[in-house]
Amino acid sequence: MATHLAGTHRMLADWRARARTTGRWRDDEAKLGALLLGPAVVYIVALVGFPFLLGVFYSFSDASVGSTSLHFMGLQNYAAIMEDPTFWRSLRNAVVFALVSQILVVVLGKILAMALYREFRGRWLIRLLILLPWVAPISLGAIGWLWIFDPIYSIITWTLHALHLIAPTDTPVWLGQPGLAMLSVITVDVWRLLPLATVIILAGLTAIPPDVLDAAQVDGAGFLRRLFLVQLPLVMPVMLVALLFGIVFTFTDMIVIYVLTRGGPYDATQVLASYAYFTGVEGGDLATGAAISLFLFPVLAAIAVFFLTMARRAEVV
């Protein structure tokens, strides 16, 4: 017993001595903070900051894939794209694509989130299934959609025929007709971004104290009044963040369009991101490509500032 106690005492003394000497740098929040932030800073500088500055530099030059020479061109590239009708078309398409798909995503996401919010048997399974499009690789999902939109074997066309919604002789070319092509890429974008929005909004709904919704019921509010006067205002900050994510994703991403239509037919689904890629990388004109993609930067920055301010203003708790 006595030896055991002595052992314990020694252990404690050792521990105290060690705590006094080694605890220093771990307790220094400034140093520890810098150390922990380090990897993230390196990552952002190397993979976001440097390419961004390189892009800015290229956009003022005549850089191209095939040449090692580089000259400062001032605003010439920007002036050139202003003259380019395809650029304006891509900009308009990008806005339509992002706005229509994101409005659909937010509305459908809210409805889905409300359905999933309720307790029911097998809810976890449904939640899992809804998340699947988000975890599937985008390009693989898009290739799947390529088959769904196939002009001959399309399951959509088959279903419409089977339900006698269109004439048997009528075979829409989903990705080949301008209006239908935009509709198709929007559909796929909604399919892809809906899970994320649903999960974000669901988190927002779950954060509303149940007592508040109960109080609204007792206070005489029916479903619509509860939805528009209590639930929606309370999830608004979260919904704005979901919307911001969606808009930025949709504006900057081109995988869906690259896989499904490559911007066609006749640039009907060409957006700025895809146009920049085709011009700069596939076309080899790095300078113009950089100018096209940079055009979006101030627009997206303004959108982000706007939404974050709105979200903060709508925040209540």
Partner 1 sequence: MATVETRRITKRFDGHAAVAGIDLAVREGEFLVLVGPSGCGKTTLLRMLAGLETPTSGDVLIDGRIVTHVPPRARDIAMVFQTYALYPHLSVLKNIAFPLRAMGMPTKEVESRVQRAATMFGIENLLKRKPRQLSGGERQRVALARAVVREPVAFLLDEPLSNLDAKLRTSARDELQQFQRRLATTTIYVTHDQVEAMGLGDRIAVLNGGRVHQLGTPAEVYGDPEDTFVATFIGSPPMNLISTPTAYVGIRPEHLLPMQAFSSSEQVLPYPLVSQRVENLGADRLVYGTLAPPHPTIKVISRLPSMLGVEVRLGERQEFAVRPRDVKRFALDSGRKLDPASA
Binding site residues, partner 1, CB under 8 A: 209, 211-212, 214-222, 225, 229-230, 233-234, 314, 316-317
Residue 236 beta carbon to partner 1: minimum distance, rounded to whole angstroms: 8
Q: Which residue lies nearer to partner 1 by CB, 237 or 263? A: 237
Q: Which residue lies nearer to partner 1 by CB, 136 or 221? A: 221
Looking at residue 207, the DSSP 8-state letter turns out to be T
Q: Which residue lies nearer to partner 1 by CB, 61 or 231? A: 231
What one-letter code names the amino acid at 65? V
Q: What's the rounded Cα separation, in Å, for the pair 302 and 310? A: 12
Residue 237 beta carbon to partner 1: minimum distance, rounded to whole angstroms: 10
Radius of gyration of the CA atoms of the chain, in A: 27
Residue 316 beta carbon to partner 1: minimum distance, rounded to whole angstroms: 4
Q: Which residue lies nearer to partner 1 by CB, 95 or 213? A: 213
Residue 289 beta carbon to partner 1: minimum distance, rounded to whole angstroms: 45
Task: Please give the full DSSP string across 256-295, using - where no structure is assigned.
Answer: HHHHHTTT-STTTT--HHHHHHIIIIIS--HHHHHHHHHH
Q: Which residue lies nearer to partner 1 by CB, 83 or 211? A: 211
Residue 292 beta carbon to partner 1: minimum distance, rounded to whole angstroms: 42
Q: Which residues contact 200 (CB under 8 A, 6 or more apart)?
A: 109, 238, 239, 241, 242, 245
3-state secondary structure of 61: strand
Q: Which residue lies nearer to partner 1 by CB, 155 or 212? A: 212
Q: What is the largest CA-CA distance in the chain?
A: 98
Q: Which residue lies nearer to partner 1 by CB, 63 or 201? A: 201
Residue 122 beta carbon to partner 1: minimum distance, rounded to whole angstroms: 17
Residue 214 beta carbon to partner 1: minimum distance, rounded to whole angstroms: 5
Q: What's the rounded Cα separation, in Å, for the pair 114 and 229? A: 15
> What are the start-end ranges of the H helices in the chain?
2-27, 29-44, 50-59, 76-83, 85-117, 123-135, 138-148, 155-162, 178-206, 210-218, 223-225, 232-252, 255-260, 272-277, 286-314
